[in-house]
Amino acid sequence: TMITNHMPTAELQALDAAHHLHPFTHGHDLNKKGVRVITRANGVTLTDSDGNEMLDAMAGLWCVNLGYGRDELAEAAARQMKELPYYNTFFQTTHVPAIALSEKIASLTPYDLNHTFFASSGSEANDTNIRLVRTYWAEKGQPERKIIISRMNAYHGSSMGSASLGGMVPMHEQGDMPIENIHHIGQPHWYAEGGDMDPEEFGLMRARELEEKIEELGPEKVAAFIGEPIQGAGGVIIPPKSYWPEIQRICDKYGILLIADEVICGFGRTGDWFASESFGIKPHIMTIAKGLSSGYAPIGGSVVCDEVADVLNGCEFSHGYTYSGHPVSCAVALENLRILDEEGIVERAGKETAPYLKGKWEALADHPLVGEAKIQGLMGSIALTPHKESRAAFAADKGTAGLICREHCFANGLVMRHVGDRMVISPPLVITKDEVDMLADRAWKALDLAH
Ligand code: PLP
């Protein structure tokens, strides 16, 4: 039988449960409730197999920055597939899409981040970073510098290396992680962990854990620090202003490499092209993916500064993926960046949409169920609480309030994600003011129903 969009939803769900193993999904839920079958999308709107329309306030998985349905990207892919569907970039070979995209990335990224090593995803790019920074130090005559320091509740991907960099304990428990020479410090999550402390003091304290950790492990053994400028999958945790300058100071003091994981934050999400600019971070290496192609084709990369590139080019870096710089993904990404740039989408999102959304989003803090509502650019979170003053969490065994709220969102035409008792959004950058109003109204309604 032909499996198509026109099949009844129940049949599609049964076939899916029979043959498809899902990422980050409890198999039990598949059989009990059935999956949502998404059939098409346009702009910020998803349609499911029953014809329901939903506002996608998550831009897929934080990636469809350009919004759905841009034919130019489909055409760029088709053109490239006909001309050169595949060739590799190994062994002294290259092709025009990889040249053009690496040049475009260099022109958009700040400072002297001018050199891109391509991968197909953020996970692969962060795996690349682990080997890249260790190779860099070995080439500099300091092979003992192997340790990478990250944060608890960080998310850097799902491969063994990138999940080890991440600080998600349930992930570490499945598969014997972290791998060796990766250490974690506390996260700058004032709302959940700051108690009575002043948020800025707390931010400084958490940053100084980096210095303590470096001293504890031995400064001569530390290769790099990695962090998301704003933690995304951890619950959209916007750090206190004091945090990043102190992290930068400590990295500079000890001469260790600073990796900004901009997989979510990059390409306009925080209101600037890159969050490193928003926070004044000067990374040696930037991880990119997601918004690079607006999710239309899989691609990621590590963008490195001139000095790191010089050192790496002094040896053969024995690392690469068949699809490093895949020509079709590069062509799609290039077209995506061209549109984001030439149509002024990043600029408009930062200057017009973000302030408007901020007003609507922060007003959700008035809801009795909401302990805080925070947003930067087009990346926001609310914390659900039974008790605003104490910032208490809901008891985990009651089925999280977040999960309940998410289900009410779905039923009311809004896709939000929950991370425990935090609800998060990351809508396409092209969302209009009318759609922002719709988002806020539906979120309030879902909160009422969950209350
Ligand atoms: N880094 C960050 C900050 C992410 O949010 C993600 C994915 O959500 C990744 C890395 C991993 O990217 P991918 O899922 O493309 O492997």
Hey, what's the torsion of the CAs at 243, 248, 254, 255, to 10 degrees? 160
The residue to mutate among 153, 187, 259, 264, having the most atoms of ligand 1 within 8 angstroms of its beta carbon, is: 264
Q: Which atom of ligand 1 is nearest to the CA of 228?
A: 3
* C-beta 209 within 6 A of ligand 1: no
ipTM value for the complex: 0.99
Instruction: Please name the residue that has the structure tokens 């989408």.
Output: 345
CA dihedral (276, 224, 235, 329) positive or negative: positive
Atom 10, ligand 1: residue with shortest CA distance: 156
Q: Output the pLDDT for position 19.
A: 93
Q: Output the pLDDT for position 1.
A: 77
* C-beta 232 within 6 A of ligand 1: yes
DSSP, residue by residue, 275-317: HHHHHT---SEEEE-GGGTTTSS--EEEEEEHHHHHHHTTS--
Question: What domains appear along the chain, each with residue ranges and CATH number?
Answer: 36-69+344-450 (3.90.1150.10), 72-342 (3.40.640.10)
* C-beta 156 within 6 A of ligand 1: yes
Give me ligand 1 centre to Cα 122, in Å.
5
* C-beta 121 within 6 A of ligand 1: yes
| Distance separating alpha carbons of residues 415 and 213, to the nearest angstrom | 39
The residue to mutate among 118, 150, 156, 379, having the most atoms of ligand 1 within 8 angstroms of its beta carbon, is: 156
Angle at 396 between CA 391 and CA 399, to 5 degrees: 115
The closest alpha carbon to 323, from 152, 22, 139, 95, belongs to 95
* C-beta 301 within 6 A of ligand 1: no
Give me ligand 1 centre to Cα 450, in Å.
30
Give me ligand 1 centre to Cα 121, in Å.
7
* C-beta 122 within 6 A of ligand 1: yes
* C-beta 293 within 6 A of ligand 1: no
pTM, two decimals, is 0.98
Residues found in the chain = 451
Give me ligand 1 centre to Cα 336, in Å.
19
* C-beta 155 within 6 A of ligand 1: yes
Hey, what's the torsion of the CAs at 104, 107, 110, 115, to 10 degrees? 60
What is the 8-class DSSP label of residue 68? Answer: B
Indicate left, alpha or beta for 271 from its phi (over 0: left) and psi (-120 to 50: alpha): left
| Distance separating alpha carbons of residues 432 and 414, to the nearest angstrom | 15
Give me ligand 1 centre to Cα 284, in Å.
19
- Percent helix, strand, coil in the chain, to 5, is 45, 15, 40
Give me ligand 1 centre to Cα 387, in Å.
33
Q: Which atom of ligand 1 is nearest to the CA of 121?
A: 15
Q: Output the pLDDT for position 446.
A: 97
Q: Which atom of ligand 1 is nearest to the CA of 233?
A: 5
User: SS3 for 383?
Assistant: strand
Atom 13, ligand 1: residue with shortest CA distance: 122
* C-beta 295 within 6 A of ligand 1: no
- How do residues 126-180 score in pLDDT, each as one tens digit? 999 999 999 999 999 999 999 999 999 999 999 999 999 999 999 999 989 999 9
| Distance separating alpha carbons of residues 7 and 2, to the nearest angstrom | 9
| Distance separating alpha carbons of residues 210 and 217, to the nearest angstrom | 11
User: SS3 for 125?
Assistant: helix
Q: Output the pLDDT for position 26.
A: 86
* C-beta 194 within 6 A of ligand 1: no
- Residue 10 belongs to what H/E stretch? helix 9-19
* C-beta 440 within 6 A of ligand 1: no
Collect all residues with Cβ–Cβ distance below 8 Å to 7 and sequence separation of at least 6: 49
Beta strands in 166-325, from DSSP E residues, in sequence order: 182-185, 222-227, 257-261, 285-288, 300-305
* C-beta 289 within 6 A of ligand 1: yes
pLDDT under 50 in the chain at which residues?
Answer: none
Give me ligand 1 centre to Cα 150, in Å.
15
* C-beta 157 within 6 A of ligand 1: yes
Give me ligand 1 centre to Cα 263, in Å.
6
Cis amide linkage into residue 355, ω under 30° from 0: no
Atom 12, ligand 1: residue with shortest CA distance: 122
* C-beta 236 within 6 A of ligand 1: no
* C-beta 332 within 6 A of ligand 1: no
The residue to mutate among 123, 262, 302, having the most atoms of ligand 1 within 8 angstroms of its beta carbon, is: 123
The closest alpha carbon to 302, from 447, 94, 71, 117, belongs to 117
| Distance separating alpha carbons of residues 438 and 412, to the nearest angstrom | 11
